[in-house]
Amino acid sequence: MKSRRFLAVIWAPCALLLIAASDPATETHHVVQQGETLKGIANRAGVALIVIAEANGIPEPYAIRSGQKLVIPRQQSHVVQSGETASGLAESYGVPYSLLALANNLPDNGAIRTGQRLIIPALLPERALSGAPRKPHFQRPHDGKIVLDWQKRPDGGGHDGLDFAARPGDMIRAASSGTVTFAGEEPKRFGRLVIIDHGNGWQSAYGHLSRITVKKGDPITTGERLGLAGQAGDADRPELHFEIRHDGEAVDPAPFLGLKG
């Protein structure tokens, strides 16, 4: 009995060490450990937080629990060996041949050559591609006082967002995670403008910036800096003009931010 107890004592810490050795930097699946956050896992994995969240059906604010198993969609590569075929590689990696051919611009006959490096595209689980579209969770992009409310008129005129009082150089934050689709000069009204796409027809816009710190195509997470406040465009004081749009139409941001609409 003593020897069994001794072995159990030795085995338990070894098991803990094996669990701790789990490394998101190379995994395609990760078991969440105590104290881990999705942002921390994404940073170590080198995969955008929003990609992991979508792959696992995790809505904002991206809460995860200890012991939860996450899929980490990771694009792989493969160096073709003698005798290998594209269809055979697609089968061995569990990837549809059509996606493999598209990712590598393969010819119609699927010919590959020894030594060729192929991209093995990541696949999202079905749960990430199905289900009802989710409405983004929005947070305030700035903590300043609202100096001009939503004032949309039936004729389409008025004010189609919220204006926050700001000091020059204040940090402006993404109100929700997504992908930057515009980051540049908008000469008609807003000066320097950033637009973020949140999926399912939802977008947010940030105008009158003194400086833009992201670029088109960047993934961005809630609360991450996208620029600095300023007075660009037609603003007569330092401020942030903030809009939320759905299917191209501006909507009142106040209810989405937990403010009185």
* Average pLDDT across the chain, whole number: 81
Mean pLDDT of 109-125: 81
pLDDT of residue 14: 42
Given a cut of 60, whether residue 102 has pLDDT beyond it is yes
Q: Name which of 149, 167, 169 is nearest 159 in CA terms.
A: 149
> pLDDT tens across 208-246, in order?
999 999 998 888 888 899 999 999 988 889 999 999 999
Q: How far apart are CA 215 and CA 75, in angstroms?
A: 23
Residue 11's pLDDT band (boundaries 50, 70, 90)?
very low
Share of the chain above pLDDT 70, in %: 83
Higher pLDDT, 14 or 95: 95
Q: How far apart are CA 58 and CA 38, in angstroms?
A: 10
pLDDT of residue 153: 61
Q: How far apart are CA 178 and CA 242, in angstroms?
A: 16
> pLDDT tens across 192-206, in order?
999 999 888 899 999
Higher pLDDT, 14 or 193: 193
Mean pLDDT of 47-61: 77
Quote the pTM value.
0.55
Q: How far apart are CA 137 and CA 77, in angstroms?
A: 35
Given a cut of 70, whether residue 6 has pLDDT beyond it is no
Q: Which pairs count as long-range contacts for 179-182, CB under 8 Å and 24+ apart, including other chains?
A: 179/50, 179/217, 179/218, 179/219, 179/220, 180/214, 180/215, 180/216, 180/217, 180/218, 180/219, 180/220, 180/226, 181/216, 182/216
Q: How far apart are CA 162 and CA 167, in angstroms?
A: 16
Residue 259's pLDDT band (boundaries 50, 70, 90)?
confident
pLDDT of residue 54: 73
pLDDT of residue 76: 76
Instruction: Identify residue 198 by its one-letter amino acid code.
Output: H
pLDDT of residue 13: 41
pLDDT of residue 8: 36
Higher pLDDT, 85 or 72: 85
Q: How far apart are CA 195 and CA 133, in angstroms?
A: 20
Q: Name which of 138, 135, 134 is nearest 258 in CA terms.
A: 138
Higher pLDDT, 98 or 252: 252
> pLDDT tens across 128-178, in order?
444 445 677 898 999 999 998 888 766 666 788 999 999 999 999 999 888
Highest-scoring range by mean pLDDT, 15-29, 44-58, 155-169, 200-214: 200-214
Higher pLDDT, 9 or 67: 67
Which 3 state secondary structure label does DSSP give 82? coil
Residue 2's pLDDT band (boundaries 50, 70, 90)?
very low
Query: CA quadruple 123, 125, 126, 127: dihedral positive or negative?
Result: negative
Q: Name which of 251, 256, 244, 236 is nearest 165 in CA terms.
A: 236
pLDDT of residue 164: 95
Domains of the chain: 76-121 (3.10.350.10), 146-257 (2.70.70.10)
Mean pLDDT of 112-118: 92
